[in-house]
Chain A
Amino acid sequence: MEAILENLERFVEVLAVSQSKSVKDWDNLILQRAFQWSAYFQHIHQRFQTHVLIRTALEDRLWVINEELKTSMENYRFISFEDLGFCDEILYAFLLQNPALPKVQYEFLLSELKDESKPMMSCISHIFRQKAASQMLLSITSMLPNSLSKPLVLTQAHSLKKYLENRTKHLNKEEQLDRVSEVLSQVPKSHIFQLVAAVLAIDDIDTNISKLLVQWLVVDMLLFENFCSNLSCELLAKLVARNSELEAAYLSFLTKWGESMDYDIMNGYWSSNTAERSWEKLQDHFSWLLKGPQTLREATESTLKNLIAQDGNFNVYGISIWTDLLLVIKGSLSSDSAD
């Protein structure tokens, strides 16, 4: 077993080199050995994918190798156990995209494309076809009027979850949270909140990753406010309905928002100093919460009633924002159901 693990280490290093400038020193022998290694590890993957003990040993070793190479190489790409299943494709793609590859070796890659009977042809053809298939399916899904789930976001969410699981392995709680922050800081700002929300939506509530993501969200108030402003009220209500920690944070965010608003006596409405934090938007947030499942509805109502009580339990417009909010939303909800 130890021999396999050591070979695995060498092979992952070979894959790393195949993406780097050092590939310029490769000769035909090295290139062919690299493909022989990939055939060997494909065989290992095939053989042990259902063998828990050996698979875990291989995954643990991969984790160590990946962490090491990550620190020593820029833009290092992780190799997972699943990747071993098609490592010939990966090696081929790395090499083909590497401008440092010597001309002779490049021609070897090309010659493999010429002959349909060669085994490598089918793997290369598979990756070309998969890319084309992704593009085709993307345009087919975009044809649907209201695609229920957005496959792109979903795919990214699955991948992010898997990646986080991998990167937080073997770390203590505190290190895990740091690692999550570190990884998420690399995600483009335009995507981050959609993506985190998607992970929370697909994942079970009590997995480690979900807990870490919630912690990451609630620990920084400003970040959490951004999260709430970037997502639709409907999605937020769905997420907080599944997670009590998120629910508490969300309600306290909305409470602060309400408390920051003033009643404009002249014009007779609640106003705030920023356009984003409008009275209508606040109503929207609360009405989605009140349309949610029973426990969420009850928690929201009791929060609102407590706030009304704190403001003195007045039952007229213009004194407590919470009284007004509840009256308006209840009115609109009952008129909705009457329709």
Chain B
Amino acid sequence: MAHDVQNPVLSFEYWLNKAVEWGEATTLESQQDVCLHLPKLYEFLHQIYETLKQMNFTAAIQRFPLIGQLVGRLCWNPFVVGYDECQKILMCCLCCLYSKEPQNPVELKANEWIWNLLCHLISPSELGDAEACPFLLTLGYTPSACYSELIKNMVLSLVTELKGNLLNGLNIQERVALHYYCPFARILLIVSASNYTKSRTSSNRVHAISVLCTPLLTLPEVAPLLEALLTHRDWGVQEALNAQFLAAVNEALLQKKIDLSDSAVLCLWLHHLPSLENTVLHLFERLISIQGHSLGDMECIIKNSLLLRVAHHPSVFRIVDEIFRNALLETNGSSKVLTIIQVFTQCFVQAHQEHNSQHKLPLKTYFLHNHPLLVMALLKHPLDLPTTLWFQHLKGITETLKVAVQDTDSRSHRSLFEHWFLLIHFGIWVDIAAELLLTSKTETSDALLWLLAFYYNPYENPQMSQTLVEARVASDRLVMLSCSPTLSVSKLLVAVATDSTETSTHHPSTNRIIQHLLVIYLLFFSRGHTIAKAFIAHMTQTVETAYEVSNMLARTANRLSILGLKYQRQIKLANELLQEIQSA
């Protein structure tokens, strides 16, 4: 393992050569090289440690004759010690090399060497030319106090310097403007050319600082410097900050090891797309792995996420939405993804309304590529309308949607998808449609049925009409059943079963609609309550259906709790059923 020739990253020789080459990291090149290699070095040291901890000193020396040289050199390199992970693993290696009862002069000497090394790691000697710290110590300063004061001041002066660069940047522009009017254009041309080179070297310097900061970025005192680097305006033609630095900052943010201002986070994500993508994926992973389908937990995670804090920036929103779109396509419209998009949009709209800023954009601008009337209708919160108008409102949505998708010009696959995608953001209206389909006494509920069918099956048109017919039969029977004097699990099963002799099963999208309607039926009809548990047990016999039904129950419980107190009974039952499924 440690002699692996094929994989240089795991080879002892490779790292010893590196350590020799780096020395005490006195040149800028070697310093940057160290910083860029640290994560790999950590991996290697970790493997060494795993071997070392099973041996005594003599065995360790036989296995790795040059281990002392490697560890010693690395301990003298501040750029290695400054990286938390490497430093800790180096300490562990050192402790493995210590012999409690030294048997020979070599072991005795090694013990002494370890003590010296540890003293060196703490001692404030050799800091800077001016011997700052020893002098402060004669004044009675403790090493910790001395270092933290020094770090604070150096960070401050670097921040000042970075802000100074910003002013230089402005200067260049002014000079360019002046140049335009000036008769001595040639002279000024030379001046601005020299300023251009100056700005090039300054941007190189900023790049180098970003590399050198990478190991330190989780140190709380360094936070102002990170802010200054990220919000530094001089993001020139070439990348001003090192990509590994940006990725490391993002990783530390995701692990909550650091916290940065919203504007710094925004700069990070706008300039480093992989970071934003990783953040969205990270959020997705957390949402998908939630146990028990709770939308409350989902909301909590989304609201605490950095993403929601800066999603009001149109570019960030667009990219997040793009990732949602891909997730939807790749999972073929999985119900979990539908729910995630819906909950994220709910949280986003809520945050947008709570955000009091003069500069905030109207909500509709985030959905610029959709039908404006449709966007306005979907953006309407159900609570902003009297319940008696919900049906009308849904009818309006359906009609606009129908016209839009049947419009010959925009009948392309792409445009169909866009309308469907938009509807998914506001799935709460689809849930309301399903409920009204069963509970309202309106004669014509075709519009509601069409909306449900479109939500579950936007594409295949011939099949959509089959779905519509099948779902119509099932919903009519469910409504009829609510009037019959007796209800049992078997009656309910018969009601939703297919009665065609040609096909023994429904189209899959019909099944999803029926599942949705059944959940509503069990929750909203008091007769349904009596057989709810037994029926749910029937519905959730496979892992797949258990998953779908749980998701639907959680969605409904969440919607009802948003809509008000009068649904206490339904919410309670939904939660009980959810628990029932989980414990089954």
Contacts and interface: CB of A to CB of B under 8 A. Distances in A.
Given A134-B127, A152-B150, A183 B139 contact: yes
Contact of B119 (A96, A126, A191): A96
Contacts of B161: 144, 147-148
Nearest to B161: A144
Contacts of B160: 148-149
Interface in B119-142: 119, 121-124, 127-128, 130-133, 135-142
Interface stretch (B81-89, B274-282, B460-468): B81-89
A107 interface: yes
Contacts of A89: 144
B136 A159 contact: yes
B394 interface: no
Contacts of A149: 153, 156-157, 160
Contact of B146 (A159, A160, A187, A188): A159
Interface size class of chain B, counting residues whose CB lies under 8 Å from the partner chain: 35 or more
Interface string B214-244: 0110010110000000000000000000000
Contacts of B100: 107
Nearest to B53: A114
Given A90-B142, A128-B87, A131-B143, A140 B149 contact: no
Interface in A153-188: 153-156, 158-160, 163, 183, 186-188
Interface string B504-531: 0000000000000000000000000000
Contact of A188 (B133, B135, B145): B135
A150 B118 CA distance: 29
B537 interface: no
Contacts of B342: none
Interface stretch (B90-98, B283-291, B494-502): B90-98
Contact of B157 (A77, A97, A126, A147): A147
A221 interface: no
B153 A158 contact: yes
Q: Which of B124, B130, B208 has the largest number of chain A CB atoms within 10 A?
A: B130
A254 interface: no
B205 interface: yes
B151 A152 contact: no
A136 B212 contact: yes
Contacts of B133: 134
B1 interface: no
Given A93-B122, A153-B130, A163-B140, A127 B155 contact: no
A152 B205 contact: no
A127 B212 contact: no
B122 A111 contact: no
Contact of A152 (B132, B137, B144): B132
B153 A151 contact: yes
Contacts of B82: 129, 132-133, 135-136
B79 interface: yes
Contacts of A110: 95, 98, 114, 118
Given A125-B87, A152-B132, A144 B205 contact: yes
A134 B145 contact: no
Q: Report whether over half of chain A's contact residues are helix, strand or loop; otherwise say mixed.
A: helix
B561 interface: no
B134 to A, nearest CB: 9
B153 A154 contact: yes
A138 interface: yes
B154 A141 contact: yes
A126 to B, nearest CB: 8
Nearest to A194: B130
A143 B28 contact: yes
A86 interface: yes
Contacts of A113: 91-92, 94-95
Range class of the A interface residue count: 35 or more
B7 to A, nearest CB: 26
A132 to B, nearest CB: 4
A248 to B, nearest CB: 30
A147 B155 CA distance: 12
Contact of A155 (B81, B114, B140, B153): B153
B124 A131 contact: yes
A134 B154 contact: yes
Contact of B135 (A125, A129, A187): A187
B84 A129 contact: yes
A107 B114 CA distance: 11
Contacts of A107: 98, 100
A57 interface: no
A139 to B, nearest CB: 7
A191 B139 contact: no
Contact of A191 (B130, B149, B154): B130
B130 A82 contact: no
A230 to B, nearest CB: 15
A257 interface: no
A148 B164 contact: yes
A207 to B, nearest CB: 19
B118 A148 contact: no
A143 B205 contact: yes
A77 B130 contact: no
Given A132-B78, A152-B132, 10 more contacts: A93-B122, A97-B119, A130-B219, A131-B127, A133-B78, A137-B216, A149-B157, A151-B150, A155-B152, A163-B140
10 contacts: A96-B118, A110-B95, A126-B144, A127-B144, A129-B219, A132-B78, A134-B154, A138-B128, A148-B161, A151-B154
Interface of A: 70, 75-80, 82-83, 86, 89-90, 93, 96-97, 106-107, 110-111, 113-114, 116, 121, 124-141, 143-144, 147-156, 158-160, 163, 183, 186-188, 191
